[in-house]
Amino acid sequence: MIYPIRILVLMALTVAVALACGGLAYKPLAAAFASNIVFHAGILAMLGIGIVVQFVRAATLIPATRWIDRTRRGFASRTPPRVVAPVATVPTR
């Protein structure tokens, strides 16, 4: 199973690369940004909020993957995480 921590690291690396590319193109981006500051600030704010939301959603999968792994080994707790609660009711072999 691919653990969410790996995905979170890849997401962070992707954001870091995108920020580095933006830093390299700072002067042209600053000139374009200055043309309509309010509009572009809104776009950047929505982008930032979206990135944070996706990191939080990926982080909520960590307890679910741990629960699934423990279930496979036979050590699951009685109450599954909310994300996998519907799957937990499915009977296994």
Helix (H) or strand (E) holding 68: helix 61-73
Q: How many domains does the chain have?
A: 1
User: Mean pLDDT of all residues in the chain?
Assistant: 88
Alpha-carbon span 8 to 10, nearest angstrom: 5
74: left (phi over 0), alpha (psi -120 to 50) or beta: left
Domain range for 35: 4-88
Q: What is the pLDDT at residue 64?
A: 87
pLDDT tens sequence for the chain (93 residues): 568 899 999 999 999 999 999 999 999 889 888 999 999 999 999 999 999 999 999 999 998 888 888 888 887 677 888 888 887 777 666
Residue 14 inside a domain? The answer is yes
pTM, whole model, 2 decimals? 0.77
C-alpha 56: how far from chain center: 6
C-alpha 37: how far from chain center: 28
Helices 37-59 & 61-73 angle (0-180, nearest 10): 20
Residue 93 inside a domain? The answer is no
